[in-house]
Amino acid sequence: MSKSSKKSNNGMFSTIYVEERALEYPITRQLLERYADCPVIAIRHYKDVFNRPGQHFAVQKQNQSLILAVKERQFLYEGPEVCQNFGHPNFYYTSFLLNCVFDCEYCYLQGMYPSANIVAFVNVEDFQKAMKEVLPEKQAFLAVSYDTDLIAFHSIVPYLDYFYGFFRQNQGLLVEIRTKSANQSFYREHEPLENIIIAFTLTPDEVIEKYERHTPKLQARIKAVNTAIARGFKVRLCFDPIFIDPEIDHVYEPFYRHVFAQIDPGGIMDIGYGFFRMSGDFFKRIEKIRSRSLLYAEDYCMDKGVLSYPLSERERIQREHMDILSDYISKEKIFAL
């Protein structure tokens, strides 16, 4: 199947690649109908496109394609050490999507994946089956929006609609949905569940402007946070990544004060806090493709293969930030990496 066409009118995707075996899934059919004017290319396996040599992540990011695929195995992964487990010993993550519609300069995905194209897995039932088999009977913490932003992608594929019923039936799963999106439809259309946490990443507008291309402004994110709280959802705020930079350092205090002037701290479950950090290997790869980025021209300290700011600097800034945050929320509720 190769469809002669100009680029999709809405400009969302440069091309849609479809695994032959994914063609009959309802998600595939709906997407092909919706993006009917986008060139469609049939492929055998998503890795034939996603893992090609010679792809330029930054160039592709501005011309993103969508790859519709059937996930074969390993539906769940154990949570990595660089991510917060918020005190849960059974920490897993899963990826219905690979890559993200946002274009954050600091994002580790640029170093992790060879391609900026988005892979959307269409066999949602297989994910549910695997979750039931793999997850322990006792409570497990499951991050479902780590290598992507499911809420931002909700208007393209509403994965959370497909999984809502499953999460409701499996209360042993504590599900975290991390997002920078201002899309409120999920909170408006669904009742809150005890085992769903919406984790909003909030950033000062100066950082959004500098590093988070295509993401909503702070005020739009705050509005989404307040909708989620008002609807009764458990809400986590993530101040992560924090940057140490003379041009930015001074914006954090007014940022925190502004956030808690707009959001009732009593409605917040807890806070995740962390500095910019990245695997050294990912950093090297990104440095090559982001050759004009100041972020990747800076010197960092390496500790156990992870690059970040020097410990003394982190400790100093963190102390300052914790003093401010503790005006609004108790320190026990702040999880810092």
Partner 1 sequence: MVLFVTALMVEASPIIEYFRLKKDMAIHEFPVFRNSDIALIVSGVGKVKSAMASAYLHSVYGSKQEDILVNIGFCGAGSNRHPPGTMLAINKITDMDTGKDYYPDVFFGQDLPKESIRCYSKPVQREDAGENNDFYCDMESSGIMEAAKKFVYSHNVAILKIVSDYLEPQNLDKEKLKGFVREQVPQVEKIISELKQLNESYGGSSLSVEERGEAEAFSERMKFTEAMKQMLLKEMKYAKLRGKEPLSILGPFMDIKVESKVEGKKILEQIKQKVK
96: nearest Cα among 51, 44, 148: 148
Task: Tell me the window of 11-19, 168-176, 268-276, 300-308 that interacts with partner 1 (CB under 8 A).
Answer: 11-19
Judged by CB under 8 A, does residue 284 bind partner 1? no
What minimum distance in Å lies between the beta carbon of 46 and partner 1? 11
Q: Does 47 bind partner 1 (CB under 8 A)?
A: no
Measured from the CB atom, is 9 or 219 closer to partner 1? 9
Q: Are 118 and 98 in contact (CB under 8 A)?
A: yes
Q: Helix crossing, 252-262 with 311-325: angle to 10°?
A: 30
> In the set 63, 90, 226, 318, which binds partner 1 (CB under 8 A)?
63
One of 9, 29, 59, 132 touching partner 1 (CB under 8 A): 59
Whether 286 contacts 111, CB under 8 Å: yes
Q: Please state the closest distance from residue 217 (CB atom) to partner 1, in A.
A: 24
How many chain residues are in contact with partner 1, going by CB under 8 A? 32
Q: How many helices (H) and strands (E) does the chain have?
A: 12, 18
Phi then psi for residue 91, to 5 deg, are: -110, 120
Q: Is 39 in the site for partner 1 (CB under 8 A)?
A: yes
Q: Draw the binding track, 91-130, toward partner 1 (x: CB under 8 A; -: no contact).
A: ----------------------------------------
Q: Min. distance of Cβ 297 from partner 1 in angstroms?
A: 4
Q: Does 309 bind partner 1 (CB under 8 A)?
A: no
Residue among 137 and 299 whose Cβ is closer to partner 1:
299
**In this structure, are residues 13 and 117 in contact, taking their beta carbons and an 8 Å threshold?**
no
| Nearer residue to partner 1 within complex by CB, 116 or 237 | 116
If one asks whether residue 79 binds partner 1 (CB under 8 A), the answer comes out as: no
With contact defined as beta carbons under 8 Å apart, do 123 and 25 qualify? yes
CB atoms within 10 A of CB 10: 10
Q: Where are the alpha helices (DSSP H) in the chain?
A: 26-34, 46-50, 57-61, 109-112, 124-134, 159-169, 185-189, 205-211, 218-230, 252-262, 280-289, 311-325
The whole-angstrom separation of Cα 145 and Cα 227 is 19
Least CB distance from residue 299 to partner 1, whole Å?
8
| Choice between 44 and 316, CB closer to partner 1 | 44
How many Å apart are CA 51 and CA 9, to the nearest integer? 27
Q: Which residues bind partner 1 (CB under 8 A)?
A: 2, 4-7, 14-15, 17, 39, 41, 43-44, 48-49, 52-56, 58-60, 62-63, 65, 289, 291-294, 297-298
